[in-house]
Amino acid sequence: MNAIISASELASALAAGDPPVLLDVRWQLSVPKAAGEPSFDGRAAYGAGHIPGAVFVDLDRELASPPGAGGRHPLPDVAGFGAAMRRAGVSSGRPVVVYDGGQGWAAARAWWLLRWTGHPDVRVLDGGLTAWEGPLETSVPTPAQGDFEPAPGATGLLDADGAAALARSGVLLDARAGERYRGEVEPIDPVGGHIPGAVSAPTTDNVGADGRFRPAEELRARFRELGVSDGTEVGVYCGSGVSAAHEVLALAVAGLPAALYVGSWSEWSADPSRPVAVGPDPQ
């Protein structure tokens, strides 16, 4: 099953007799702002207009636990995540489509969590809301309670030790911008640089100028250049396990399974005993 769906395919699915559950996960990376500058409010953006029938999902509250030793977006409490998905109408036997404002990172985080907890049919709207040409609505739907019961472990998950080991035995991809990987800038976390052995692979290079994923064959070629081929054990991390989920999604589009290091650099760099590499080379 393809991990992404086009806007035209989604429009057809919504017009069918048994449409998918639709989740709106609009979110933006939180970075320090100038005094008085408002933060992005995904719920307000949802209220101003969303794809008909979509239910808002809050990434910070429903797709992650509070920030702490496990990073800025640790795994959510599994029971709480399951309850949130059921409130949104998610059932195991019904397809789910997730979208965000267009970047795709937040939608990919929801996609990865649902896949990791065992949902068999989840796709991301390619290009997000910006690709949607249909109507929008402002009314908030009240979906029927779903029956989804999360069963973690259906896809790969890494902790800090596992990520370090994979950097030596397989391919560990760093999905952040190249300047953060090289340690030239670090706007959020305690220190810049990367996990020793990790390969720089900005997730922004997986999409075209329109924000949609590059064709599968182009993605396979890109990952092949980064050392990934069929049978390679692959892991991905970023700052806090959000943009890395987007890279895991890109790998899935290319037909290449990968594990996610959810704690990512925000967890790794918080422990001064962990080694840090800087510069353009993995080591």
Q: What is the CATH number of the domain that holds 175?
A: 3.40.250.10
The active-site residue, picked from 125, 158, 238, 270, is 238
The amino acid occupying position 112 is W
Number of domains in the chain: 2
Pair 181, 106 in one domain: no
What's the rounded mean pLDDT across residues 197-210? 97
Residue 163 has pLDDT above 80, yes or no: yes
What's the rounded mean pLDDT across residues 155-178? 98
| Tens digit of each residue's pLDDT (9 = 90 or more) over 241-271 | 999 999 999 999 999 999 999 999 999 999 9
The β-bridge partners of 207 are: 213
- For residue 32, what pLDDT band results from cuts at 50, 70 and 90? low
- Measured N-to-C along each axis, helices 105-116 and 243-253 cross at an angle, to the nearest 10 degrees, of 70
Residue 33 has pLDDT above 70, yes or no: no
Q: How far apart are CA 108 and CA 4, in angstroms?
A: 10
Pair 93, 203 in one domain: no
pLDDT at 241: 97
Is residue 281 situated within a structural domain? no
Pair 15, 126 in one domain: yes
pLDDT at 31: 54
- 92 catalytic, yes or no? no
pLDDT at 1: 73
Q: How far apart are CA 198 and CA 175, in angstroms?
A: 10
Is residue 24 situated within a structural domain? yes
Residue 183 contacts residue 279 (beta carbons within 8 Å): yes
Pair 108, 14 in one domain: yes
Pair 25, 97 in one domain: yes
Pair 59, 177 in one domain: no
Is residue 257 situated within a structural domain? yes
Residue 173 contacts residue 254 (beta carbons within 8 Å): no
Pair 87, 46 in one domain: yes
Pair 59, 118 in one domain: yes
Read off the pTM.
Answer: 0.95
Q: Whose structure tokens read 């760099």?
A: 269
Classify 203 as helix, strand or coil.
Answer: helix
Collect all residues with Cβ–Cβ distance below 8 Å to 240 and sequence separation of at least 6.
71, 72, 73, 263, 264, 265, 266
What's the rounded mean pLDDT across residues 165-191? 96
> Domain of 42?
4-131
Pair 14, 109 in one domain: yes
